[in-house]
Amino acid sequence: MKIFVKKGKLQDIKSQAVILALFQDQKELTGTALLIDQACKGLITEFINNGDFTGKPSQISVIYTRGAIPAQRITLVGLGKKSEINLEKIRTAFSKVMQHLRSLNIKEAATSIDLNMLSEKEDKIVQAVVEGAILGLYQYTAYKTVGREDIREMEQFNIIAEGEKYSVVESAVKIARIIAGGVYLARDLISAPSNEMTPSVMAQKAGEIARRKNVTCKVLDRAKMKKMEMNALLGVASGSNEEPRFIILEYSGSSKSAAPVVLVGKGLTFDSGGISIKPAEKMDEMKSDMSGGAAVMATIMVAADLRLPLNIIGLIPATENMPSGTAYKPGDILKSYSGKTIEIVNTDAEGRLILADALAYASKYKPVAIIDVATLTGACIIALGDDLIGMLGTDEKLKSEINKAARTTGEFVWELPLWESYSELIKSDIADYKNSGGRAASTITAAAFLSKFVGDFPWVHLDIAGPAWCGKDKSYIPKGASGVAVRLLTEYLRNCTHK
């Protein structure tokens, strides 16, 4: 969908549908809505007074203008009560109205954004409108060959800004498009089936991101990893015929000497569980076990496109986890890249193994912060549900910065305790650690395990097992891959540069 920012007034614009977002308890129309209502001889007022439209969240009414204004239709969308408005409600309203217009086979819509809608900064409001509109329209159609002619697509979204607000709106729209583009990339990578989205294809996609200015990509193959003794990652990869890859994306937006932020993303392109094989039900969804890696790749792309003034490293260990005659087995002991030894008690606890090597590798950058993102534990879904990201870490400041970014983006995090006592559960009798502490508190013991491989740097672990994959449509996240953490990481990184 193309997005244009145009100078002018919405009531003068020729459009298939102009969108007006209205509050539920709005007694009288104001601003653009009032001007359009007057031009249409009270059409909107009549609609509201007769109770057809109340403005409750995401309620939609489409009204024909019959030539009263150049636009063919007025589309009202409810924002809910003014006292309860927030960025998330704006994103939701605009995703819903765009989805509705697309279902009517409308190709173009126009709106003007009320920049006083809530007390947030004006650019955040514009960003929410555009992100909501774009993100809600996502559809993954690459493998549909039958009935392609029925696929509907919105082609154009025009945002009409008054003269003096034009530059604020234009720059916020540009930022929102870049960020939403990152979410689309992550969703595409995750939605692709694992027979196509292999570790080598992920590496290839990373190479494409690195065609940008200031981004480089290095890829380690099995032989190189062997030389470097990344045996935890290699252990997981040993059961698969797919070659593993360790992907290193480097974005330099600041001076060479500036210590970077390191982002680490779990890149399990398919998690069968290995010898400790998973049940068949929903195993297909385990193609999404590279959601963390996809989020990290997309975030690096976004950071480069936004030209953020800081250095960022993305580390994505990528492999399949498969059972076979060469697969690693329960009881095996692996010597990780850090030198620490790990007893395997469950081959399905593979994410922490590949992350262990990547987190240890991160030390070489002497980073200001390390954030890892992973679909790490089913227990996180049991504890927090499908919507929340589990957050654990060692640095209070970093945790609070991520929490702040989470509240802005609506990609909410909830902290779980990472107390010393949990480390007892992952002690091994014969090696340094074991890779599973059993069922109790397994999101926490997984993080405790990771902590053993992080050097002395501020670190936060984000368990995205819940929100990475949506079983049903959620406002601006259509069913399937959500692309979660791209907006969260981007917001965190943008805030880093405002200090």
Please list the active-site residues.
278, 352
Quote the distance between the C-alpha of residue 309 and its chain's center: 21
Residue (179 or 354) nearer to Mn ion, CB: 354
Query: Does an H or E element contain 398, and which?
Result: helix 396-409
Residue nearest to ligand BES (CB): 378
Q: Which residue type, as a one-letter code, is found at position 124?
A: K
C-alpha–C-alpha distance, residues 2 and 391, integer Å: 36
C-alpha–C-alpha distance, residues 310 and 319, integer Å: 29
Q: Residue 496 burial by CB count (10 A; 0-12/13-18/19+): exposed, middle or buried?
A: middle
Pick the piece of the chain touching ligand BES (CB under 6 A) from 70-78, 200-208, 252-260, 377-385: 377-385
Residue (21 or 389) nearer to ligand BES, CB: 389
- Binding flags for Mn ion, 232-271, as an x/- string (CB under 5 A): ---------------------------------------x
Q: Which of 24, 231, 377, 490 binds ligand BES (CB under 6 A)?
A: 377
C-alpha–C-alpha distance, residues 45 and 134, integer Å: 29
Quote the distance between the C-alpha of residue 425 and its chain's center: 32
Q: How far is the CB of 349 from Zn ion (least distance, A)?
A: 8
Per-residue tokens: 16: 């298939």
Query: Does an H or E element contain 245, and which?
Result: strand 245-252
Using DSSP's 3-state secondary structure scheme, residue 174 falls into: helix
Q: Residue 278 burial by CB count (10 A; 0-12/13-18/19+): exposed, middle or buried?
A: middle
| Residue 338, CA atoms < 13 Å, CB-side half-sphere | 22
Residue (28 or 281) nearer to ligand BES, CB: 281
Per-residue tokens: 69: 């204004």
Residue (37 or 289) nearer to Zn ion, CB: 289
C-alpha–C-alpha distance, residues 413 and 463, integer Å: 9
Per-residue tokens: 49: 């007074």
Q: Which residues are at the interface with Zn ion (CB under 5 A)?
A: 268, 271, 289, 351
Q: How far is the CB of 350 from Zn ion (least distance, A)?
A: 6
Q: Which of 58, 194, 238, 442 binds ligand BES (CB under 6 A)?
A: 442
C-alpha–C-alpha distance, residues 410 and 91, integer Å: 9
Is residue 463 involved in binding Mn ion (CB under 5 A)?
A: no
Q: Which residue type, as a one-letter code, is found at position 309?
A: P
Alpha helices (runs of H) in 104-228, residue ranges in sequence order: 122-136, 166-191, 199-209, 222-228
Using DSSP's 3-state secondary structure scheme, residue 148 falls into: helix
Q: Which of 289, 372, 401, 411 binds ligand BES (CB under 6 A)?
A: 289
Per-residue tokens: 130: 């555009």
Q: How far is the CB of 345 from ligand BES (least distance, A)?
A: 8
Q: What is the CA radius of gyration of the chain?
A: 24
Q: How far is the CB of 499 from Mn ion (least distance, A)?
A: 38
Task: Give the residues across from 440 on adjacent strands.
Answer: none
Q: How far is the CB of 382 from Zn ion (least distance, A)?
A: 15
Q: Which of residues 239-278 bind ligand BES (CB under 6 A)?
A: 271
Instruction: Tell me how many residues contact ligand BES (CB under 6 A).
Output: 15
Is residue 375 involved in binding ligand BES (CB under 6 A)?
A: yes
Q: Which of 348, 357, 401, 491 binds Mn ion (CB under 5 A)?
A: 348
Q: Which of residues 464-483 bind ligand BES (CB under 6 A)?
A: 465
- Binding flags for ligand BES, 339-358, as an x/- string (CB under 6 A): -------x-xxxx-------
Q: How far is the CB of 355 from ligand BES (least distance, A)?
A: 10
- Binding flags for ligand BES, 400-439, as an x/- string (CB under 6 A): ------------------------------------x---
φ, ψ at 374 (rounded to 5°): -155, 140
Q: How far is the CB of 376 from Zn ion (least distance, A)?
A: 7
- Binding flags for ligand BES, 85-114, as an x/- string (CB under 6 A): ------------------------------
Q: How far is the CB of 272 from ligand BES (least distance, A)?
A: 10
Residue (250 or 289) nearer to Zn ion, CB: 289
Where along the sequence are the contacts to Mn ion (CB under 5 A)? Answer: 271, 348, 350
Question: Which residues make up the interface to ligand BES (CB under 6 A)?
Answer: 271, 289, 346, 348-351, 375-379, 436, 442, 465
